[in-house]
């Protein structure tokens, strides 16, 4: 079975490092306000591009800049600035939907990937965009049978992109799904003047709504009050079928998610992809991966439309169904290189021997470990409380920018 590329989301340097540490083959990210996660407070800046490229090159990881929103005339100058900077620092490709962005990238010789926002659903559309792009993300609403028909036609008809290589097909493999067709929704714009297609979705579809007949006043009874909020996509249990459909890139959604989400999801899908290659993929391993995926943010899971379901599966609440959550404890102070000891200041709550902790930071990424030994104010104790100074044995460098969390059971999931 062919090896596919695992693409990770990166909303900030913590998530970027988590992706690199856990086996991503490529990362995608937004800069400033011209991407589909523009409302997030964790977007990179123009000046971050060189550092992103540097870190990824060191790990031989491909980099994709997302410029996939609707573009207006006043955006054109910043588009040129972003694309030129991306080219200068050797970003691999631009993910685009607007012809202005596509043309700008092609003018400077940058590789173009077509965003799912274009909603590609057939081979003729693939042929058209092959004039501009080497990789295309298909519509999220296609079944695996439809995906396989497209990939087979690319092989049979030798459809090539500008690079001269056969066009590669990319699909979403895990993460949030939107009620709208491939994410093209205007509900947020009409209700709150905040356009999803400009990266500023307010996600008001995730709330409870009552449906009332205005003429009779009759209130419709719905099986699920969150009828506009789909469960999250998960394909790890059908990954063999997804790969068999001929795709080349598996994309993980989540540029607005925390670094531990990126770390956990990428690690699971890395293991799953490798197991397919080594013929060790099994139901038992799927169960294990699912338990890990359930620990981080999710709205419940389903396979999307890949197996041909007629209707979506809806979430049972407005929040996360994660079985675990993190609680802020303190921050990094110092790292003793020779002894491999990390020092932390406890700002809130407590930690004890046996606790599972999470350490995150722009360079650290997201590292999870169990406390097996610690010194509290230079004494060997089993517990530390607010105000204490704690030293722990760690096998990675601790920095003042690092944050310390305790992982606990989420008793309020959903």
The tokens describing 291, both together, are 């338990």
CA distance 355 to 116: 41
Which region among 56-60, 148-152, 299-303, 350-354 has the lowest average model confidence (pLDDT)?
A: 299-303
> What pLDDT is recorded for position 248?
98
**Least confident range of 68-77, 235-244, 339-348:** 68-77
Backbone angles phi, psi at 352, to 5 degrees: -145, 165
Q: Residue 388's pLDDT band (boundaries 50, 70, 90)?
A: very high
* 371 has pLDDT over 60: yes
The structure's pTM equals 0.86
283-307 pLDDT per residue, tens: 999 999 999 999 998 988 989 889 9
List all residues 6 or more positions away from 226 whose beta carbon is below 8 Å from its beta carbon: 206, 207, 208, 314, 315, 316, 317, 318
Query: Given a cut of 60, is residue 336 above it in pLDDT?
Result: yes
Where is average pLDDT lowest: 67-71, 207-211, 236-240, 347-351? Answer: 207-211
pLDDT in tens, 259-273: 999 999 999 999 999
> pLDDT by residue (tens digit) across 104-147?
999 999 999 999 989 999 999 999 999 999 999 999 889 999 99
Residue with tokens 């509290």: 376
- Segment 274-289 mean pLDDT: 97
Alpha-carbon gap, residue 37 to 26, rounded angstroms: 18
Instruction: Answer for the pair 274, 30: CB distance below 8 angstroms, yes or no.
Output: no
More confident residue, 103 or 196: 103
Over residues 347-362, the mean pLDDT reads 96
Mean per-residue pLDDT of the chain:
89
Residue 151 sits at φ, ψ, to 5 deg, of -65, -35
Query: Could you read off the pLDDT of 159-176 as tens digits, one per residue?
Result: 999 999 999 999 999 997
* Interatomic CA distance for residues 277 and 1, integer angstroms: 6
Cα dihedral across residues 144, 149, 151, 152: positive or negative:
positive
Whether the predicted pLDDT of 185 surpasses 80: no
For residue 187, pLDDT over 90 is answered with no
Percentage of residues in the chain having pLDDT higher than 70: 83
Q: Is 58 exposed, middle or buried (0-12, 13-18, 19+ CB in 10 A)?
A: exposed
pLDDT band, residue 41 (cuts 50/70/90): very low
Looking at residue 23, what is its pLDDT?
98
* 3 state SS of 295: coil
User: What pLDDT does residue 205 have?
Assistant: 60
């Amino acid at each position: 079975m062919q090896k596919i590329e695992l693409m990770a989301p990166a909303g900030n340097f913590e998530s970027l490092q988590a992706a690199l540490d856990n086996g991503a083959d490529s990362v995608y990210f937004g800069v400033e306000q011209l991407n589909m996660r523009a409302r997030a407070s964790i977007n990179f800046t123009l000046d971050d591009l060189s550092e992103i490229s540097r870190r990824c090159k060191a790990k031989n990881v491909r980099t994709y800049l997302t410029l996939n929103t609707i573009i207006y005339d006043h955006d054109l100058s910043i588009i040129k600035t972003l694309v030129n900077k991306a080219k200068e620092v050797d970003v691999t490709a631009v993910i685009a939907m607007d012809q202005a962005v596509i043309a700008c990238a092609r003018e400077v010789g940058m590789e173009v990937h077509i965003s799912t926002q274009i909603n590609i659903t057939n081979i003729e559309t693939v042929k058209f965009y092959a004039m501009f792009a080497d990789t295309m993300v298909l519509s999220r609403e296609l079944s695996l049978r439809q995906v396989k028909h497209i990939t087979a036609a690319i092989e049979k008809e030798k459809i090539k992109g500008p690079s001269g290589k056969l066009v590669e097909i990319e699909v979403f493999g895990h993460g949030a799904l939107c009620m709208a067709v491939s994410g093209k929704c205007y509900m947020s714009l009409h209700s709150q003047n905040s356009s999803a297609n400009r990266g500023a979705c307010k996600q008001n579809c995730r709330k409870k709504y009552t449906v009332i007949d205005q003429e009779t006043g009759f209130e419709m009874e719905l099986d699920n009050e969150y009828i506009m909020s789909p469960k999250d996509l998960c394909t790890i249990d059908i990954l063999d079928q997804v790969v068999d459909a001929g795709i080349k890139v598996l994309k993980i959604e989540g540029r607005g998610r925390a670094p531990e989400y990126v770390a956990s999801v990428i690690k699971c899908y890395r293991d799953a992809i490798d197991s397919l290659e080594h013929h060790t993929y099994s139901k038992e391993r799927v169960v294990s991966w699912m338990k890990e995926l359930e620990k981080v943010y999710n709205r419940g899971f389903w396979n999307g439309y890949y197996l041909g379901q007629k209707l979506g599966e809806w979430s049972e609440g407005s929040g996360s169904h994660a079985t675990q959550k993190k609680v802020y404890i303190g921050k990094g102070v110092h790292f003793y290189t020779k002894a491999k000891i990390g020092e932390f200041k406890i700002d809130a709550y407590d930690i004890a021997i046996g606790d599972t902790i999470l350490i995150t930071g722009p360079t650290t990424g997201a590292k999870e470990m169990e406390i097996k030994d610690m010194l509290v104010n230079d004494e060997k104790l089993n517990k530390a409380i607010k105000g204490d100074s704690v030293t722990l044995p760690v096998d990675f460098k601790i920095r003042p920018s690092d944050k310390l969390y305790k992982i606990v059971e989420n008793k309020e999931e959903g």
